[in-house]
Amino acid sequence: MSISKHIHNDYLPHFYHDWMKEPGRTVLLARREGKLVALQSWLIADEGATAVFEGLRVCPTERGRGISWAVHRFAHSYIQQLHPTIKKARATTKLKNMKNLVARRAILCLVGQEESLDDLISHLKQKIRFSGFTSGLIPLNETQLKKVLLDPKLPSRVQLPGGSIIQTSQPLQLMEGNLEILKRWNLTWLADNEEDPVFLSFYAPSYPVPYNGRATLLNINIFGTDYMMAQGALVSLLEAARSKEELKGTIIFRVHMPWSLVETLQAFCDGHQGFTRCGEVLEQVLLEMKYA
């Protein structure tokens, strides 16, 4: 757990134990002279074609000595030995100057206290009402979702980054074998219709992070470029999370979206006293490396 110290909003302490039980998941620990110095994890997805990497951490005292590169080289050769038919590795990162970049997304972050949450929701609803827009977004059940996700035209209609749904940091291509993984993640989905949507969004269950002692983090993911729908989705998903999740104390929302929506969504979220922006808008990049 101490490898995550000093990393704001780190999901690793919460997910580590789930990872131990997750089918298709490997967690690699690196030791130097018996001491744990690094961690890397990956999930085999896309019906065995892709290793989705996440969770790279090097102990603060060991950074800058090439350990992450050593882990990188080892992990990729190990994966190819273990899964000879694997085609590629994918990952998302907020690190700068990365090679093998496939797509870019933006992450807007808001922070506030649970007591202000209802007020935030009413404030945003009022803004929507003022604009005269009725979102018309609908929740998707499992059968509808399956049909929507397996439609080969969805990636271009919704402009999916690199043709993938990115669940916060994990990219998955749209195929039958990934539906089980998506189900396991227990996401709450919204779309503009259940036949041929041009807009999709979901939130993933919230989890605790060591921000200012302890906070709850809720990730909202938006696909599609319609800014009115994006505003509607944000409010509806916040409302759904408000009723289903245990949102207590300090709450952080991270909204993952196409860059084209950032300006409008920032303006939409600005102006509330209880929930304010937390840092600059971050860039998340999707990386892909093909195996020979």
Ligand X SMILES: CC(C)(COP(=O)(O)OP(=O)(O)OC[C@H]1O[C@@H](n2cnc3c(N)ncnc32)[C@H](O)[C@@H]1OP(=O)(O)O)[C@@H](O)C(=O)NCCC(=O)NCCS
Q: Which tokens is 230 given? A: 């994006």
36 binds ligand X (CB under 6 A): no
Q: Looking at 16-24, 26-34, 88-96, 219-227, which segment touches ligand X (CB under 6 A)?
A: 88-96
Which of 13, 14, 69, 9 minimizes the C-alpha distance to 37? 69
Query: Which one, 88 or 242, has the nearer CB to ligand X?
Result: 88
Query: Which one, 65 or 277, has the nearer CB to ligand X?
Result: 65
Q: Looking at 27-35, 87-95, 107-115, 254-262, which segment touches ligand X (CB under 6 A)?
A: 87-95
Q: Which tokens is 190 given? A: 């919204």
CA distances (Å), origin 215, targets 36, 119, 156, 288: 27, 19, 36, 32
Q: How do beta strands 101-113 and 250-257 pair? A: antiparallel
How near is the Cβ of 41 to ligand X at its closest, in Å? 11
How near is the Cβ of 229 to ligand X at its closest, in Å? 29
CA gap 61, 166 in Å, rounded: 32
Secondary element (H or E) of residue 54 = strand 50-58
Query: Which one, 68 or 216, has the nearer CB to ligand X?
Result: 68
Q: Which of 27, 29, 82, 98 binds ligand X (CB under 6 A)?
A: 98
Query: Which one, 93 or 144, has the nearer CB to ligand X?
Result: 93
- Cα dihedral 262→145→137→252 (10° resolution): -40
Q: Is 136 helix (H, G, I), strand (E, B) or coil?
A: coil
- Residue 47-86 contact track with ligand X, rule CB under 6 A, x = bound: ---------xxx----xxxxxxx--x--------------
95 binds ligand X (CB under 6 A): yes
Query: Which one, 66 or 177, has the nearer CB to ligand X?
Result: 66
Query: Which one, 26 or 144, has the nearer CB to ligand X?
Result: 26
Q: Which of 7, 102, 138, 179 binds ligand X (CB under 6 A)?
A: 7
How near is the Cβ of 210 to ligand X at its closest, in Å? 13
**Cα 74 vs. chain centroid, distance in angstroms?**
26
- Residue 147-186 contact track with ligand X, rule CB under 6 A, x = bound: ----------------------------------------
Q: Which tokens is 148 given? A: 């929507």
How near is the Cβ of 95 to ligand X at its closest, in Å? 5
CA gap 288, 42 in Å, rounded: 13
Question: DSSP assignment, residue 1?
Answer: -
Q: Which of 93, 116, 159, 193 binds ligand X (CB under 6 A)?
A: 93
Query: Which one, 156 or 292, has the nearer CB to ligand X?
Result: 292
- CB of 87 within 8 A of CB of 73? no
Please, what sign has the CA dihedral across residues 228, 232, 234, 237? negative
- Cα dihedral 235→173→19→3 (10° resolution): -80
How near is the Cβ of 288 to ligand X at its closest, in Å? 12
Catalog residues that contact ligand X under the rule CB under 6 A: 7, 56-58, 63-69, 72, 93-95, 98
